[in-house]
Structure 1
Amino acid sequence: MTAPASTRAVWKGAISFGLVHIPVVLHAATADIRPKFNLIDPASMSPVGNKQVSKATGEAVQREELVKGIEVEDGQYVVLSKDEIRTALPKTTQTIEIEAFVDAGEIAPAYFSKPYHVAPATRGLKPYALLRDVLARTHKVGVAKIVMSTKQHLAALMPVGDGLVLELLRWSDEVRDAPTSTGDTGAAAAPNERELKMAEQLVTDMAAAWSPDLFHDEFREKLQLLVQAKAQAGDVATLQPLPGEEAPAAGGSAEILDLTDLLRRSLQAKTGAAAKTPETREAATETREAANDEPVPLKKAAASKAAKSRTAVKPAPKAARATAKPVAAKSKR
């Protein structure tokens, strides 16, 4: 069973060769589904994070203090600033620029790195189909360059079924030569005709159509079964939250603060409690002027709420005024 198709576009641009321009979208063609282990401190049952530690002093170094450098000799580094690195980054062109068409079988498997499904974008259906069909008819693939995530890649554009696949390629200096032990070591290692026929018969007997669903990652499947069994048995450890990240108590609900409501209540309490002083009369006047700038529905709602407050709520005592101010100040933070 294959992984579900990706619906998220990882790159948008166009295929270009000669005067041909084909708008396309790239989608991830692979998925990483292997289980990921987290490091946990058994004493506190809390996750253990990665820390940048100096190999010379053993002390932690803050991330903002780190600089980037490239080793030129053993123990000697050239430090590069962010601006220097930025000037060396390739220019983003949003184009898969095909530079040559080569025979499909000429690219060695060691060069293939990561595939992407290529889908036609708007107004790109016909030229997309044309390129796919001509590559299939000529048994060629397009060798191109593409910039993705500020990194330049070599790539091969090839027809697969009804679509196109862009396979990122490794650069030539990233591919190692085969060890000499895999080459011809002389007549002593050459198989004889009888051995070849027996091996050929065995290959013929084991021949089958390619069906990837017949093959499974046994380690992942056994690990999933083990995790499911321990979880069903209740053998589950709860990670303790880090300081400042405590979750709300079980059964309780986190208080949801409405900043607008808090400010309105604070202003109403302040206005009702100190309406007789010149300062509060001036503040009330400013509040009414600010309220006049609100849209009509908001002003009606505020007026209705204020009328209910005047008929049902007595002016708050001094103690209430003392506690009303910190609530508004806390909300602003």
Structure 2
Amino acid sequence: MARPIWSGTLSFGLLNVPVSLMSGERSVDLHFRMLDSRSNTPVRYERVNAETGEEVPWKEIVKAFEYEKGSYVVLEPDDIKSAASEGREAVEVQAFVDADSIGPEYYEKPYILVPGKKAEKGYVLFRETLKRTGKVGIARVVIRTREYLSAVMPRGDALMLMLLRYPQELIDVEDFKIPQGAASKYRVSPKEIQMAEQLIDSMSDEWKPAGYRDEFRDRLRKVIEKRLKSKGVVTPTTEDEEAETPENATTNVVDFMALLQKSLASKKRTPAKKAATKSVARKAATKKESTGKTSVGAKKKSTTKKAAKRASTKRKAG
């Protein structure tokens, strides 16, 4: 079962709907490993110091911003976290816009919002309202450590969360030499336009995404299978890990009418419940402490092994 990226709330006005954020795409790329042709053993990527050539352990690696060539400012983990929004487990809808007012160039990546247990009523209420009004919700959401602009929209029975690009990420078409003005300016005749329209009409069909496949990937997979048979190689199998989806202790016994009326009157949105936020923070702190201890123990063990290996190598050389 797919693992949720996080579980939190979808909030608009004074309404909060418990949801889980699930990835809306899957990777179908064929991944390759680099091998040493002399022995067919994998080639690893090493984290090495650019000046000394020595391997750098993870605990010594920090993030830095290069503000000038060769000049850096080091950032602590808390520095990056402090720049993110406080609502880490919330999709906070800030406005509603017409669905067709967002250009395709702004859409970046799809996610699926799945309602928590006993949160179906609020989910359906939001979905059906968006369908009837033809609107989409513009929201901010924090995924891992970065804040994104997003659009919440209905898609069949589901609510989709589409990550959006910021205007600063887009290149203005005015930066390119694009033909402007009427078609007649470029000696395009009405007859040519008419024939082009007839061609488009003859090729028109319904959009059926299932009818399209990545043919390059299919052909490449056949090449790989042929190689496997000729070499007699057996592909190892791996077990899929099942993740438990966190449960939300929210019921459908909510006076949505009253909340909607208050939202219309105040035009304010409700922040995530403090109790829930504190609970999540405590769990995250406990998990981080546990992970840190395990990581330190593993690193000490690794360092001891490396030291022993180097000592053995020196004795052999002597």
Q: Secondary structure at the match of 1:158?
A: strand
- Greater RCO, CA 8 A, separation 6+: 2
2:211 corresponding residue in structure 1: 214
Q: Distance in 2 between matches of 1:37 and 1:134?
A: 46
Contact 2:80 2:145 (C-alpha < 8 Å) held by counterparts: no
- C-alpha distance in 1 between matches for 2:23 and 2:235: 34
Give runs of aligned pairs for residues 1-333 of structure 1, distance below 5 A: 7-55=2-50, 60-178=55-173, 179-184=175-180, 188-189=185-186, 191-234=188-231, 236=233
Structure 1, gaps ≥5 residues long: 1-5, 240-333
Q: TM-score, normalised by structure 2?
A: 0.67
> Judging changes above 3 Å, is the alpha-carbon distance between structure 1 residues 83 and 26 closer, same or farther for their aligned structure 2 residues?
closer
CA shift digits 1:287-309 (9 cap, x unpaired): xxxxxxxxxxxxxxxxxxxxxxx
CA shift digits 1:55-94 (9 cap, x unpaired)? 4565544433332211223333222233433433433441
- Does structure 2 retain, via aligned residues, the 8 Å contact 1:45–1:237? no
Cα 1:151/1:217, change in 2 over 3 Å: same
Instruction: Indicate conservation of the 8 Å contact 1:15/1:97, yes or no.
Output: yes
Identity of aligned residues (%): 38
Q: Which moved more, 1:119-128 or 1:222-231?
A: 119-128
Alignment-mate amino acid for residue 229 of structure 2? Q
* Equivalent position amino acid for 1:166 in 2: L
Taking the aligned partners of 1:119 and 1:109, their CA distance within structure 2 comes to 24
For 1:118, the aligned partner's letter is L
The answer as to whether partners of 1:92 and 1:150 remain within 8 angstroms in 2 is no
Q: 2:127, 2:154 within 8 Å by CA — same for their partners in 1?
A: yes
Q: Secondary structure at the match of 1:50?
A: coil
Which runs of 5 or more residues in structure 2 are unaligned?
237-318
The 1:55/1:198 distance shift into structure 2, 3 A limit, reads farther
Residues matched between the structures, number:
234
SS where residue 233 of structure 1 aligns? helix
Check 1:75–1:194 CA distance in 2 against 1; reply closer, same or farther (3 A cut): farther
**Distance in 2 separating the partners of 1:206 and 1:238:** 43
Q: CA RMSD in A?
A: 2.4
| Equivalent pair of 1:26/1:117 in contact (CA under 8 Å) | yes
CA shift, 1:28, in A, is: 1.5
Q: 2 CA distance for matches of 1:25 and 1:84? A: 27
Residue pair 1:90, 1:150 contacting (<8 A) in 2 also: no
After the TM superposition, which segments of 4 or more aligned residues of structure 1 sit over 4 Å from their partners?
A: 54-60
| Other-structure match for 2:255 | none
Q: Is the 8 A contact 1:14 1:21 kept in 2?
A: yes
CA separation in 2, counterparts of 1:46 and 1:31?
29
Indicate how the Cα distance of structure 1 residues 158 and 237 shifts in structure 2: closer, same or farther if over 3 A, else same: closer
Q: Give the alignment's TM-score, normalised by structure 1.
A: 0.64
Bigger radius of gyration, 1 or 2?
1
The 10-residue stretch of structure 1 (143-152 or 65-74) with the greater mean CA deviation from structure 2: 65-74
Q: In the aligned structure 2, how far is the partner of 1:56 from the partner of 1:190?
A: 62
In the aligned structure 2, how far is the partner of 1:76 from the partner of 1:183? 43
